[in-house]
Amino acid sequence: MRLKAHGWVYSFSIAATLAVGILIGTVISFGVKGKEGQKSSDATPLTVPAPQQLSNAFSRIAKELGPSVVNINTESTIKGFHHRKGQNNDDEDNDNGGGGMDDFFNRFFGGPGGSQMSPFGPDNGPIRERSLGSGVIVDSKGYIVTNRHVVEKADRIRVRLQDDPPGIQHDAKVIGEDQETDLAVIKIDLDRSLPAAKMGNSDGMEVGDWVLAIGSPFGQVGTVTAGIVSAKGRDIVPGRQFQSFIQTDAAINPGNSGGPLVNMNGEVIGINTAILSETNAYAGVGFSLPSNTVVQVYNQLIGPEHRVARGSIGIMFDSVENPAIARIYGSGTGVTVSSVVPGSPADQAGLKIGDTITSIEGQKVTKGSELVADIASRKPGSKVDIGFIRNGKQEHATVTVDDRAKLFASRLGEEDNGEEGSTPKQSKFGISVRKLTPEMADRLNMPAAKGVIVQDVKPGSFGEDVNLNRGDVILEINKQPVNSEEDLAKVEANLKSGQDVVFLVRPRGSTQQDGTIFMAGTLP
């Protein structure tokens, strides 16, 4: 037998190995003696428990749940030939379904075996793209849960059941999609009842619990892989709301997307959504959206409006906790507001940038995720008491919750190319800035003479450390307005090594409607 490991090839004989094993056992048996005078009368003999047929549990669950897992085949028309990205990049996610999230997830259809493009047609003409994914039947009437990116922009969706003869597929229609969680509900119409999977409670899962992943990796229908829950509550894309994942080492590959993650009771406790990999293939790190989130989204998608309504009060905050922000704005705990959407409920209630929200209806709030989860669960039109700290004083405001989708509907904008104005001055922060001209402000949909635009960030500088980028607009530094190069110079002249610095920034490519964020650090 030959075994290849780390570039070396080893040869050995099974018979010889067995013989050596027997010989070693014989030597150990006769060659080891206890020390004289040592007592062991209080030692408890070890026992071997009865063998557990865990493999039988795996096979039982696979047989029970397998028929409810489907293969999904979609076709899309692509205008103009292009190659999808297959490698990760550092772009952040945007709300129109592209950018960093797609590349981070490898899209499941952007790598080898995930999608196929027709070789026919001119380079600049429309072509047909076929993609494979998975789904799970959750209602015997033909309702199927899958990932949104499996069926997104598809001209035709076809579903293959595990017991279907080769070549038989069923046309499906989209019932509803939710971009925030990357979930979708589709339906097939058959004249018979279909096997439906049972949903489990994902909150009951613990790290180390056994799980199975079922789906169609690389189009291989009905594939079952086993692993454990590796971690819970994974937020794999910074700032991405409503996506806290179960991490698993059960093998997940392109084509598994939309298939179920199953516990040992045969219940669906997650929908396989993403992998972390440098090769677009299994690397031991997969992510599933918890079933409790899936159920909440599903129940709204099958409703009359076929959409998920989430509450919002129209504020933004730094997605990554930074103690420098709390120190500058004078609050030990809570969520510091970095932006207030003009005309939003928060704006109408008088909330301002720099306020630190500490409670909702009297319940303490310490993290942004807690704030979002609470407000998002409330119906638009309902009123909520918000406790906050402003300039060291505790205050309250009654805010009317609005529809999140309406408040943040226009999160698109042009990025400034930084080609106007005079020669920029170099800052000791390691950034070059330029006063915002009326023309630039108009393009950015911002008030004139508000802020300075970053023209360059020196590698290894403090500006780079706090994630400032070319095209960002700096509005304030440590609560002080910065509307010119001179303003910035005055602020930084009074700062010393070891002091906290908090920038209020409108990121490159965003508009006034998009809001502002904090970028903070301690000056070296």
Q: How many C-beta neighbours within 10 Å does residue 425 have?
A: 15
The enclosing H or E element of 248 equals: strand 245-248
Q: Rounded CA gap, 470 and 430, in Å? A: 12
91 is catalytic: no
Q: Which of 178, 182, 318, 402 is catalytic?
A: 182
Tokens of 69: 């897992």
CA distance 444 to 209: 50
- Candidates 336, 398, 397, 392; CA nearest to 365 is 336
Torsion of CA 361, 179, 93, 336, to 10 degrees: -10
- Residue 402 φ/ψ, nearest 5 degrees: -115, 175
Write the burial class of residue 415 (CB in 10 Å: 0-12 exposed, 13-18 middle, 19+ buried): middle
Specify burial of residue 92 (Cβ count, 10 A radius: 0-12, 13-18, 19+).
middle
Tell whether the torsion through CA atoms of 471, 475, 479 and 482 is positive or negative: positive
β pairing state of 356-360 and 335-340: antiparallel
Count H helices and E strands in the chain, helices first.
Answer: 12, 31
**One of 76, 230, 257, 344 is an active-site residue; which one?**
257
Query: What is the C-alpha to C-alpha distance for residues 55 and 361, in angstroms, rounded to an integer?
Result: 50
- Given the residues 93, 102, 131, 149, select the one marked as catalytic: 149
Is residue 230 annotated as a catalytic residue, yes or no?
no
In this structure, are strands 170-178 and 183-188 parallel, antiparallel, or unpaired? antiparallel
Tell me whether residue 504 is exposed, middle or buried, using C-beta atoms within 10 angstroms of its C-beta: 0 to 12, 13 to 18, 19 or more: buried
Count CB neighbours of 88 within 10 A: 15
Q: Could you confirm whether 374 is annotated as catalytic?
A: no
| 362/366 Cα distance (integer angstroms) | 13
Q: In this structure, are residues 302 and 143 in contact, taking their beta carbons and an 8 Å threshold? A: yes
| Catalytic residue set | 149, 182, 257
